[in-house]
Copies of this chain bind each other. A is one copy, B any other.
């Protein structure tokens, strides 16, 4: 298991960990019931404090993504409802995996243009915001009226 928090991104490490684990669960890379590496192991691998990992695990349990069993370890929740409302499991994971090629294809194009990782992120986030808001128009366009 190898997660990779980016300490310089401004996003708290424990949040990044949570996101990456959720992603692994959502795509089925981590199967339901599967055991996650121990707190100390993860902390050691990533050279971060065990408390930080513990916090991520605790939050994930609170969200129902994983189950913590004292003395036993951390496990992906059986009826992993992930970040969604109800059950999803394999069917949904399949759906998500099906989108991977499209995502990778886009990223490849962006990389071919010489975009930095930051620029890609901004591009994506920017359009995501546009989607979230009313849609049709950009924030800046709105101003120009």
19 example contacts (A-B, Cβ-Cβ < 8 A) are as follows A2-B139, A2-B142, A10-B12, A20-B122, A22-B122, A23-B125, A29-B138, A83-B119, A84-B119, A96-B119, A99-B110, A102-B106, A103-B127, A104-B131, A107-B127, A117-B128, A117-B131, A121-B124, A121-B125
User: How many Å from the CB of A112 to the closest CB on chain B?
Assistant: 10
Are A118 and B3 neighbours in the complex by a CB distance under 8 Å?
Answer: no
Set of chain B residues within 8 Å of A122, measured between Cβ atoms: 19-20, 22-23, 26
**Residues of A participating in the B interface, judged by any CB pair closer than 8 Å:** 1-4, 9-12, 15, 19-20, 22-24, 26-27, 29-30, 37, 83-84, 95-96, 99-100, 102-104, 106-107, 109-111, 113, 115-129, 131-133, 138-143
Are B20 and A129 neighbours in the complex by a CB distance under 8 Å?
Answer: yes
Are B132 and A117 neighbours in the complex by a CB distance under 8 Å?
Answer: yes
User: How many Å from the CB of A14 to the closest CB on chain B?
Assistant: 9
